Amino acid sequence: MTDRYAIIGNPIAQAKSPALQTAFARQCGQDLEYGAILGEPGAFAAAVREFQAGGGLGMNITMPFKLDAFELADELTPRGRAAGAINMFTFRADGTILGDNTDGFGIVRDITHNLGVSLTDKRVLLLGAGGAVRGTLLPLFEEKPGEVFIANRTGSKATDLVRGFADQAGAIKLAGGGFADIAGHFDVVINGSASSMTDDLPPLPEGVLDAAELAYDMAYRKEPTAFVRAAQAAGAKQAADGLGMVVEQGAECFFLWRGIRPDTAPVITALRIA
């Protein structure tokens, strides 16, 4: 029988996961079917259980259900727990649900694998203190940067993240504050702030992007985002949006479900053209 997977969200028509997972399955010779489910408010758990009972093996979760997924999972991976939100389920043979978050992995892999930028010993600036940034921290720490500074409009939210992740950071210098507290040169600047969703710019101090090795926007659009345009104009060596992250997080899900890591390069190219 063909193995079944799906993504659930509301709205769902814009989801790229069906195209991604179908492309991965074709490339890797896997017999699977991947659909999309429009979840209704208040009925998330019922929809998940129905899909699981019908033989579904795994699920992706997109907005607005990532927090509901966190609560529904029977067990959480360390990165899923750290993120505080879940974007993938694996339905296990005993009926339990394992929740994970592959978004942060996707960002880090896109940076290191596709863009060729090492994060080891680098000074990294993270903009924003929401779920996207929170989910990036553990995968980022695994690359052993020298320093990570988290900046947010409300500085206390950034310092709360610093306190919450101090133990996991280990020897990495971890600090945070408001945008006005940003100081000095950063090798890598990652924009995960709310400005990514509205194509605006966060209020960065003068010169932050000028000499960056990489300026990376978690958001992506058909045309370069405001953050990417600003980085290019400032003279950053490389500026990129988050399309590669979307593909890489999906590839990590595919790997965890199927045990095969697909080649993401042709999929990223196809999506960029589309």
**pLDDT of 197 higher than 90:** no
Is residue 66 part of the annotated active site? The answer reads yes
59 is in an annotated binding site: no
**pLDDT of 195 higher than 90:** no
157 is in an annotated binding site: yes
228 touches 252 (CB < 8 A): no
Q: How far apart are CA 80 and CA 14, in angstroms?
A: 24
155 is in an annotated binding site: yes
Query: Mean pLDDT over residues 170-197, rounded?
Result: 94
Query: Mean pLDDT over residues 172-185, rounded?
Result: 96
Q: What pLDDT does 194 receive?
A: 86
**pLDDT of 155 higher than 90:** yes
130 is in an annotated binding site: yes
87 is in an annotated binding site: yes
Q: What pLDDT does 222 receive?
A: 86
How large a percentage of the chain has pLDDT more than 90? 92
163 is in an annotated binding site: no
What domains can you pick out in the chain, each with its CATH number? Answer: 3-101+246-273 (3.40.50.10860), 104-241 (3.40.50.720)
**pLDDT of 196 higher than 90:** no
Q: Give 81-137 pLDDT, tens digit per residue.
A: 999 999 999 999 999 999 999 999 999 999 999 999 999 999 999 999 998 899 999
3-state secondary structure string, the chain?
Answer: CCEEEEEEECCCCCCCHHHHHHHHHHHHCCCEEEEEEECCCCCHHHHHHHHHHCCEEEEEECCCCHHHHHHHCCEECHHHHHHCCCCEEEECCCCCEEEECCHHHHHHHHHHHHCCCCCCCCEEEEECCCHHHHHHHHHHHHCCCCEEEEECCCHHHHHHHHHHHHHHHCCCEEEEECHHHCCCCCCEEEECCCHHHHCCCCCCCCCCCCCCCEEEECCCCCCCCHHHHHHHHHCCCCEECCHHHHHHHHHHHHHHHHCCCCCCHHHHHHHHHC
**pLDDT of 53 higher than 90:** yes
pTM for the model stands at 0.94
Q: Is 37 exposed, middle or buried (CB count within 10 Å of its CB: 0-12, 13-18, 19+)?
A: buried
Write down the mean pLDDT value for the chain. Answer: 95
Query: Mean pLDDT over residues 206-216, rounded?
Result: 95
From the candidates 16, 66, 122, 144, which is the catalytic residue?
66
Q: Give 221-254 pLDDT, tens digit per residue.
A: 888 999 999 999 999 999 999 999 999 999 999 9
